A and B are shown apart, each in its own frame.
Chain A
Amino acid sequence: MTIATRQLELRAGDRVLVHGLDWSVAAGECWSIIGRNGAGKSTLLRTMAGLRAPDAGAIALHGRLLPDWPLEALARERAYLPQSRSDAFAYSVMETVLSARHPYHANHYWEQSDDHHAAVNALAAMEVDHLASRDVRTLSGGERQRVAIAALLAQDSPLLLLDEPANALDLAHQVRTMSLLSRLCRQSGKTIVMIGHDLNLAHSISTHALLLMGDGRWHAGTVDDALQAPLLSSYLGHPIDAIENKGRRIFIPLEAPHD
């Protein structure tokens, strides 16, 4: 059991987003969190990252409650990709990725050579090594997103929490990033929990899915169990059709009736 929630409740103001969530993610699983805008997906991920306290219930990582973890040890166990970021200062891409090595050398003044090695490898994996000396504020949205994912890879933690990793990426990089994440799960034994709006990408790489209704209801299960057209239609509030094509399941939103 990597990370587990017990009777977790999440609220936004008076609204209950998630109620009584008993959910556990095992090592090597790849979960997609799916739901409408405002259903509490990012709130759940932020809570799992330890950036926000649960409104009720608890979250445990390796059987230890999140608040009981020393921050640096926790940072070596899980990495978090926020949905968006704002860059105020002219840090270079290399400095940005190196900063993700903080939990490994917090007591040193300078990074060590293995940190540089990890950063260079992560940049190459996300195909942004040619941008290493660029000011992060001059990057395009998609390049910035790839640099952020590269930083996540450099953090080298067993659990990855990603809030819309495919955001702003072009089609080719969406597919490449997703297959990289899938390889990390299947070959390197990493555990992934991510938010995404592309059902087809989610279906092709995830092993499990958590559906959030946004009124407290939720549904967790394997991909084959959770990613069913009727269930998705109800959770996403729009009729969805599923077709089998060359062994893959493709989801198509039905056209809205013209009136």
Chain B
Amino acid sequence: MFRRAMHPVPPPLRQRALPIIATLLCVAVASLLVAGMSGSIAVAPAELPDAVAQVLRGRPESLAASLVELRAGRALMAFVTGGALALAGVMMQALLRNPLADPYVLGISAGASVGALFALLMMCAAATVDGAAMAGAVTVALLLYLLARRDMRSGVAVEGGTSMLLLTGTILQSASMALVTLMLSIAPEGRLRSMVFWMIGELAGAPLRVLPWIVLGAALAYALCNARAMNMLALHAEAAATLGVRVGAVRKGLFFVSAVLTASAVTSAGAIGFVGLIVPHACRFAFGPDHRVLIPAAVLGGGSLLVLCDTVARTVVAPTQLPVGAITALIGTPVFLYQLHRMHK
């Protein structure tokens, strides 16, 4: 007992989990309110409760209510996209046991770019572009699964890490990027701008849809159910099997769920960078690597970050709208470098 008193064990994560998640929920709500208020015509905080109430009743009458409705749709899209990217990043990092992995590392977003750019090149309608992006992402994911099935075999006899998956993904990404470059170089001037903007990622044209929320909800449920198993994989790699974890099944699940999340996110908003890398990192840095807290924290943090970045993107040089991917990269780079520096001190 004396020894224990000398070396107090930190309070269990269980006790810290609730305050952390509650705080992040408040941050998320605050970010949505900020997004609703800011723009070329600001909505005063005093008008906000009435405007929100009108929107919720489905009958926006005042100017403030119309503005809030317009901005809320876009902010909610930003939130679901950011949450999906951050969650996909957490899952990919646990799957590959590499804190530098992000949702794009396996080339799924590059596949989406090939599809979307091809549709843009062919002057297709927005819905077709989204469909083509989804088809590209799915094609790459299926190819990856076929080629690197070895790393995700079910059963107990799992040998080796996920190097096959990572290398195959890297190669598929290079191949996709070659196709992207090819299309950009033959595209007529008029279509280049929309193609480049798609690749940087932007939320301007994204309509509010229900499907991304369903995908995020289902993926979050899957991730929370497997949070303990993800800890085991992150800690013990293959040896997690000797602690009762179905390593093959969990790897397969992480791969497919993060692929669907990535595909859903890039389909609605293009390949927005850095969110899937920075947010899991920052959350680990602040709250520790335990996935039971990391997963909900990353979803809330990623969603809030993208809402705020998108607000900046559409207000900072208004009326010109910047692609949100440029803002996330500008904010993400110094944050990442700072963390990296702190970590190695």
Indicate if B231 sits at the interface (CB-CB under 8 A): yes
Q: Which residues of B contact A78 (CB under 8 A)?
A: 242
Q: List the 4 closest pairs (A to B, CB-CB), nearest first.
A: A72-B244, A75-B244, A103-B244, A89-B289
The answer on a CB contact under 8 Å between A82 and B239 is yes
Indicate if A32 sits at the interface (CB-CB under 8 A): no
Indicate if A96 sits at the interface (CB-CB under 8 A): yes
Indicate if A217 sits at the interface (CB-CB under 8 A): no
Given contacts A90-B284, A94-B10, contact A80 B227 (CB under 8 A): no
Indicate if A95 sits at the interface (CB-CB under 8 A): yes
Within 8 A of A (CB), among B30-67: none
Indicate if B228 sits at the interface (CB-CB under 8 A): yes
For the complex, give the distance between the alpha carbons of A155 and B242 in Å.
10
Show 21 A/B contacts (Cβ-Cβ < 8 Å), sorted by A: A49-B242, A50-B156, A50-B241, A74-B242, A74-B244, A75-B243, A80-B242, A85-B237, A85-B239, A89-B99, A89-B284, A89-B289, A90-B289, A91-B289, A95-B235, A96-B235, A99-B232, A102-B232, A102-B243, A102-B245, A133-B9
Shortest CB-to-CB span from A97 to chain B, Å, is 10
Bitwise, A101-141 to B at CB < 8 A (1) or not (0) is 01100100111000010001000100001101100000000
The answer on a CB contact under 8 Å between B244 and A102 is yes
The answer on a CB contact under 8 Å between A88 and B234 is yes
Of B156, B224, B244, the residue contacting A51 (CB under 8 A) is B156
Indicate if B341 sits at the interface (CB-CB under 8 A): no
Q: Which residues of B contact A103 (CB under 8 A)?
A: 243-244
Binding site for B on A (CB under 8 A): 49-53, 66-67, 71-72, 74-76, 78-80, 82, 85-92, 94-96, 99-100, 102-103, 106, 109-111, 116, 120, 124, 129-130, 132-133, 155
Shortest CB-to-CB span from A51 to chain B, Å, is 6
Q: Which residues of A contact B13 (CB under 8 A)?
A: 110
The answer on a CB contact under 8 Å between A50 and B9 is no
Q: Which residues of B contact A132 (CB under 8 A)?
A: 7, 9-10
Shortest CB-to-CB span from A131 to chain B, Å, is 8
Indicate if B314 sits at the interface (CB-CB under 8 A): no
The answer on a CB contact under 8 Å between A79 and B242 is yes
Shortest CB-to-CB span from A71 to chain B, Å, is 5
Shortest CB-to-CB span from A43 to chain B, Å, is 11
The answer on a CB contact under 8 Å between A88 and B227 is no
Scoring B7, B12, B13, B97 by chain A CB atoms within 10 A of each residue's CB, the highest score goes to B7
The answer on a CB contact under 8 Å between A133 and B10 is yes
The answer on a CB contact under 8 Å between A90 and B244 is no
Within 8 A of A (CB), among B227-271: 227-228, 231-232, 234-239, 241-246
Q: Which residues of A contact B74 (CB under 8 A)?
A: none
The answer on a CB contact under 8 Å between B158 and A110 is no
Q: Which residues of A contact B156 (CB under 8 A)?
A: 50-51, 66-67, 71
Please, which residue of chain A has its CB at the minimum distance from the CB of B343?
A90
The answer on a CB contact under 8 Å between A51 and B235 is no
Q: Which residues of A contact B288 (CB under 8 A)?
A: 90-92, 95
The answer on a CB contact under 8 Å between B246 and A71 is yes
Please give the number of chain B residues whose Cβ is less than 8 angstroms from any Cβ of chain A in the complex: 38
The answer on a CB contact under 8 Å between A99 and B241 is no
Please, which residue of chain B has its CB at the minimum distance from the CB of A133?
B10
The answer on a CB contact under 8 Å between B241 and A71 is yes
For the complex, give the distance between the alpha carbons of A157 and B157 in Å.
21
For the complex, give the distance between the alpha carbons of A74 and B290 in Å.
25
The answer on a CB contact under 8 Å between A116 and B12 is yes
Q: Which residues of B contact A52 (CB under 8 A)?
A: 157, 159
Given contacts A91-B289, A95-B290, contact A124 B3 (CB under 8 A): yes
The answer on a CB contact under 8 Å between A51 and B9 is no
For the complex, give the distance between the alpha carbons of A110 and B159 in Å.
29
Shortest CB-to-CB span from B256 to chain A, Å, is 21
Q: Which residues of B contact A95 (CB under 8 A)?
A: 231, 235, 288-290
Shortest CB-to-CB span from A110 to chain B, Å, is 5
For the complex, give the distance between the alpha carbons of A120 and B3 in Å.
11
Q: Which residues of A contact B231 (CB under 8 A)?
A: 91, 95, 99
Please, which residue of chain B has its CB at the minimum distance from the CB of A76?
B244
For the complex, give the distance between the alpha carbons of A51 and B240 in Å.
10
Q: Which residues of B contact A130 (CB under 8 A)?
A: 6-7
For the complex, give the distance between the alpha carbons of A109 and B232 in Å.
13
For the complex, give the distance between the alpha carbons of A110 and B224 in Å.
12
The answer on a CB contact under 8 Å between B12 and A99 is no
Shortest CB-to-CB span from B131 to chain A, Å, is 37
Q: Which residues of A contact B292 (CB under 8 A)?
A: 109-110
Q: Which residues of B contact A100 (CB under 8 A)?
A: 243
Of B4, B9, B159, the residue contacting A94 (CB under 8 A) is B9
Of B6, B234, B242, the residue contacting A50 (CB under 8 A) is B242
The answer on a CB contact under 8 Å between B9 and A80 is no
Indicate if B128 sits at the interface (CB-CB under 8 A): no
For the complex, give the distance between the alpha carbons of A80 and B242 in Å.
7
Beyond A102-B232, A106-B244, list 13 extra A-B contacts (CB 8 Å). Answer: A50-B242, A67-B156, A72-B244, A75-B244, A80-B239, A85-B237, A89-B235, A91-B235, A99-B231, A100-B243, A109-B228, A109-B292, A124-B3
Bitwise, B286-311 to A at CB < 8 A (1) or not (0) is 00111010000000000000000000
Within 8 A of A (CB), among B141-169: 156-159
Q: Which residues of B contact A96 (CB under 8 A)?
A: 235
Please, which residue of chain A has its CB at the minimum distance from the CB of B100?
A88
The answer on a CB contact under 8 Å between A120 and B9 is yes
The answer on a CB contact under 8 Å between B4 and A120 is yes
